[in-house]
Amino acid sequence: MRKTSAAVARLSQSERAGQSAAPGPGVVRMHQGDPDFATPRHILEALNDALEAGYTHYAPFQGDPELRAVVAEGLARQTGETWTAEDVAITHGGTGAVYGAMVAYLDPGDQVLIPEPNYSLYGDVALGIGAEATFVPSTENHHLDLDALAAMAGPRAKMVILCNPCNPTGAVLHRDELEDLARFCVERDILVLADEAYDHILYDGREHVSALSLPGLLDRVLYCQTFSKTFAMTGLRLGYLAARGGMANAGLIAHKTAAGQINSSVQRAGLAALTTQADDAATMLAEYAARRELLDKILASAEGIAWRKPEGTFYAFVKYDADMPAREFTQFLLERGLAVRSGSEFGPSGEGYVRLSFATSRDQIEEGAKRLASAAAEASRSSPAVRS
């Protein structure tokens, strides 16, 4: 039998790799961040029209020129700076953008600073490259701890990774903490990979501050975006990497080597998503807000758990009291009919937590929250720490 590569061996041991199996029948599924809304009708119509018009062949490697131009126009409006289509590379979802950016700019031994808990993809890609993933604990309320980050940054620190709003915690970073981070990155000549997939999913009037808006940071940001969350297009696998000064092209080279061109007709659907006036995103956000309140109604007073209402995204990061590792507690919940993600998948600080997605129906959320509350109380009462 041939041996797998060292990179594959490392990745196979990652927390995320061990949680890929689909839960069985009768299980409430709150483990996946896949919006349960139908993809908006005008996007599907654009996809069908593109197929009928012959968009079934190879697209340009960098992406549909018209889609790239529209993305660049949006970035120019957002930042007040000049952006062109050459600054944009269309990718296989946000995952492709993250992968291309990290492979293009990290070498084996380079240090990647990952404030955590954070999306596990970043650590997995760093492992595959052979880079050093340094997990930087966040504050108690899951915001940036710049003192900890500065203390842990070594001489080969090359990149900081931000997910804002954050998967899994739902934290939305404040302008002042981001400006402090920007000054640090400029002083240390560190790149910022900014994954802002959930930038339209915010609650209680919060402002999303993009890394692209921070002083001095614009020309060192690798901006990763996806159509998946805002437009409920997860299965269509469409995203983009945007960066100025030729930086997007470097990410494109890495991306096209691994994945090739993007589906031609799906890119036309993405164009419709960005150019057609519709209120679908606002409707989805209002429903997510209602679901968040439903979760709070059940979990706020539940025994054996504590949770902080997320500031953004459609995830709840729930702390439990039971004296068992997060992976074990996740399995404990699965045996009681609830599928969630282990908090330890998202970094060392995620130990003692589980992540729930409320991108599912209210009935499923209510039943899932009740199962969580019941199981957490059972586990808490039976843990050695409680019994003693």
- The tens digit of pLDDT for each residue in 29-42 reads 999 999 999 999 99
User: Which domain, by its residues, includes 175?
Assistant: 41-275
In this structure, what are the phi and psi dihedrals at residue 137, rounded to the nearest 5 degrees? -60, 140
Residue range 326-331: average pLDDT?
Answer: 97
Is residue 1 a part of any domain in this protein? Answer: no
How far apart (Å, rounded) are the C-alpha atoms in residues 274 and 294?
31
How far apart (Å, rounded) are the C-alpha atoms in residues 142 and 103?
27
Task: Provide the domain count of the chain.
Answer: 2
Q: Residue 308 burial by CB count (10 A; 0-12/13-18/19+): exposed, middle or buried?
A: middle
In this structure, what are the phi and psi dihedrals at residue 160, rounded to the nearest 5 degrees? -110, 140
Q: Are residues 199 and 224 in the same domain?
A: yes
Q: Which of the listed residues 229, 249, 275 is the one where a domain comes to its end?
A: 275
Is the distance from CB of 120 to CB of 346 less than 8 angstroms? Answer: yes
Q: Are residues 73 and 138 in the same domain?
A: yes
Q: Are residues 105 and 134 in the same domain?
A: yes
Q: Are residues 17 and 136 in the same domain?
A: no
pLDDT tens for 292-324 read: 999 999 999 999 999 999 999 999 999 999 999
How far apart (Å, rounded) are the C-alpha atoms in residues 239 and 225?
5
Q: Are residues 144 and 258 in the same domain?
A: yes
- Checking if the pLDDT of 74 tops 80, the result is yes
pLDDT cut 70: percent of the chain above it: 92
Is residue 96 a part of any domain in this protein? Answer: yes
- Checking if the pLDDT of 159 tops 90, the result is yes
Phi-psi region of 375 (alpha: psi -120 to 50; beta: other; left: phi over 0): alpha
Comparing CA positions, the residue from 345, 298, 302 lying closest to residue 325 is 345
How far apart (Å, rounded) are the C-alpha atoms in residues 349 and 343?
8
Give the count of alpha carbons within 13 A of 356, CB side only.
Answer: 31
